[in-house]
Structure 1
Amino acid sequence: MKSLFRVLLLTLISFNVYAQDLDSLSFSKAKWKKTSVAKKTKLFTYQFADSSLFTANQYVSFVEIKNHKKAPGFFIGFDKKELIKTAVFAQKYQAKAAVNGTFFDIKNGGSVDFIKVNDTIINQNREEKNNIRALHQRAAVVINNHLLNIKKWDGSDTWENTLTDQNVMLSGPLLILNNEKEKLDSVPFNKLRHPRTAIGIKPDGTVLMLTVDGRQQNSAGMSLFELTKIMKWLGCSSAINLDGGGSTTLWVSGYGENGVVNFPSDNKKWDHEGERKVANVIFIKAKP
């Protein structure tokens, strides 16, 4: 009986390793469509069809911004109360590209996570039940002199208010930090597939602003465990999850009819019209 159990266990492990190898192979073989966005900045898009990635169809798009003095700089766009589409935010700020930001109050507007812009605090964290810090308040995108980085919560109650960075957007969960995968809780938000938005940083400082579509036949969406894998496969040494679901939007100046690259899911159609209004964005444009 023990021998049979060992055989079954080894078979299961071998199958999982084989499946992971197939996924990484499928990802590595993707022939990305590449479009120039700005100096040292490109857009990459690819449709994984025939259930070829994580046994599902997936549509992945990202903007890659090189760590170069000629590349655009990073900024946080926001409104304290009003909810605005990512595309509208981007046009307002004359951006080259933008993704939706962190989590917000869909009924009353405003970020539910700490936001600081140009050394001015815009929003404080809204406390969760039992005063437990939310999973999306345990890491941050920080921007100094238009350069982007990712930081991890230090466990203190006042962490975000003591950060000296010029611009801060709390979000999460954190996926990878300094080449180490973060431990993710097995909660439904992490395990289930949804549209996702993420920021990743490569060892050389190159930044990826990425979206994965979901809730569609053409793109199932990803769990955070799957999202972590593709961020690693893309070469990121650090990565953070932003708000996803119906909020997930990647916008690029001059792209298509309305600039929306991905297929936002709020209208339940496979088109570029289903944007959800959000409270904040991360965008790039020429440095001042």
Structure 2
Amino acid sequence: MKQFFSKPYRWALIYSSLLSAATAFVLLDAFVIPKSLSAVSATETTTSTSNEETEADVSESVSEQTITEAIVTESSYEDENIQISIETGRSNNTTYYAVDIQVSDASFLKTALAQDTYGRNIKAVTSSIAASHDAILAINGDFYGFRDAGYVLRNGTLYRDTARETEDAEALVIDDEGDFSIISENETSLSSLDTSSIAQIISFGPALIEDGEISVDASSEVSQSMTSNPRTAIGQISPLHYIIIVSDGRTDESEGFSLLQLAEEMQNRGAVTAYNLDGGGSSTLYFNGEIINNPTSGNSTGEREVSDIVYIGYE
């Protein structure tokens, strides 16, 4: 044994092995090993504790009646509280899906976490999360679990108050009236906001439209992404009136949108505020139990597991 350790290269071999093991563990811990930090409880599904009538009260009072009376087609849904219409379009060698949404109350615009759990690497496909919440329509969210920073506030509950440090880090704030606004995470601390009146804070970006004006240009992109990609974005047209656009991409049939092209489509539909969500292989549009778009990462097809969704529904 003493002779074994007397050889310098053997110490180097041991050190190299330990370093490789440590590196592997760090990568697994960051990207693979699930780590639950908080489970969503029934009391965390309300958007504002100050309201006498909570989301649950709204849902309970109308769900049975409206669901049975809903008029549903392959591209639309309508009941007394929710109206949804989906248009399939073609622009810039890209197939996209534009969803016009009107609701009678902000509580019908919701978010959900994979496995109803906040944490790292807690994931599920969009359709699975949507189905577990009886969502009428759903899209992927911001994939918060892929990062250690970025504000996370969902359905009135704050999970993470750590801001992203990048200069262009913008978050989407949805208040309990359902109105959208954009904040800079570097310039706006959560302590400066009245979080009791906020329903959602989503941290991805960038903002596509602010005050009706396009806020990206031809050079804008997310990190090291390609110029044209599958995209998911959400915007507000007017009070309780929203627009979602999901584009296919990275295929011969559909190239994908740039951020500028995505913003232009949003502006053409009257969005006064619009925000880019996670894209690429995450981009998924779910409606009435079906996947409407064609999710792909470019290398593989089918839904990618994500941390969270944005959806329209009663539960």
Normalised by the length of structure 1, the TM-score is 0.70
**Which residue in the other structure is 2:207 paired with?**
174
CA deviation after TM superposition for structure 1 residue 37, in Å = 2.4
- Counterparts of 2:148 and 2:176 in 1: how far apart (Å)? 21
The equivalent position to 2:172 in structure 1, one of 120, 123, 140, is 140
The equivalent position to 1:226 in structure 2, one of 242, 246, 261, is 261
**Which residue in the other structure is 1:30 paired with?**
none
Change (3 A) 1:187 1:168: closer
Counterpart check, 1:91 vs 2:131: yes
**Which residue in the other structure is 2:83 paired with?**
41
- Counterparts of 1:177 and 1:237 in 2: how far apart (Å)? 6
- Counterparts of 2:306 and 2:148 in 1: how far apart (Å)? 9
Counterpart check, 1:277 vs 2:313: no
- Counterparts of 1:160 and 1:182 in 2: how far apart (Å)? 26
Q: How does 1:78-227 map to 2 (within 5 A)?
A: 78=113, 79-81=117-119, 82-106=122-146, 112-125=149-162, 127=164, 131-133=165-167, 135=168, 137-144=169-176, 147-153=178-184, 155-156=186-187, 158-159=189-190, 162-164=193-195, 165-184=198-217, 186-189=219-222, 192-203=227-238, 205-227=240-262
Q: Does structure 1 conserve the Cα–Cα contact (< 8 Å) formed by 2:216 and 2:259? A: no
Task: Tell me which amino acid in the other structure corresponds to 1:119.
Answer: G
- Counterparts of 2:246 and 2:231 in 1: how far apart (Å)? 6
- Counterparts of 2:85 and 2:190 in 1: how far apart (Å)? 34
**Which residue in the other structure is 1:60 paired with?**
96
Question: What are the superposed Cα offsets for residues 89-137 of structure 1, whole Å, 9 maximum, x if unpaired?
Answer: 101111111100013445xxx775321124322234464xxx434x4x3
Question: What are the superposed Cα offsets for residues 248-279 of structure 1, whole Å, 9 maximum, x if unpaired?
Answer: 0011123xxxx11100003756xxx6100011
Counterpart check, 1:77 vs 2:112: yes
- Counterparts of 2:159 and 2:245 in 1: how far apart (Å)? 25
**Which residue in the other structure is 1:14 paired with?**
none
Q: Does structure 2 conserve the Cα–Cα contact (< 8 Å) formed by 1:38 and 1:96? A: no
Task: Tell me which amino acid in the other structure corresponds to 2:87.
Answer: T
Change (3 A) 1:157 1:42: closer
Q: Does structure 2 conserve the Cα–Cα contact (< 8 Å) formed by 1:60 and 1:212? A: yes
Structure 1, unaligned runs of 5 or more = 1-32
Q: Does structure 1 conserve the Cα–Cα contact (< 8 Å) formed by 2:99 and 2:243? A: yes
Normalised by the length of structure 2, the TM-score is 0.65
Task: Tell me which amino acid in the other structure corresponds to 2:227.
Answer: L
- Counterparts of 2:107 and 2:95 in 1: how far apart (Å)? 25
**Which residue in the other structure is 1:18 paired with?**
none
- Counterparts of 2:226 and 2:129 in 1: how far apart (Å)? 31
Counterpart check, 1:240 vs 2:278: no
- Counterparts of 1:41 and 1:263 in 2: how far apart (Å)? 24
Structure 2, unaligned runs of 5 or more = 1-72
Change (3 A) 1:121 1:74: same
Question: Larger helix proportion, structure 1 or 2?
Answer: 2
SS at match of 2:208: strand
Change (3 A) 1:148 1:282: farther
Q: Does structure 1 conserve the Cα–Cα contact (< 8 Å) formed by 2:207 and 2:215? A: yes
- Counterparts of 1:203 and 1:118 in 2: how far apart (Å)? 21
Once superposed, what is the RMSD of the aligned Cα atoms?
Answer: 2.9
**Which residue in the other structure is 1:263 paired with?**
294
Q: How many residues matched?
A: 232
Question: What are the superposed Cα offsets for residues 232-261 of structure 1, whole Å, 9 maximum, x if unpaired?
Answer: 11121111101101000011123xxxx111
Q: Does structure 2 conserve the Cα–Cα contact (< 8 Å) formed by 1:175 and 1:241? A: yes
CA deviation after TM superposition for structure 1 residue 220, in Å = 0.7
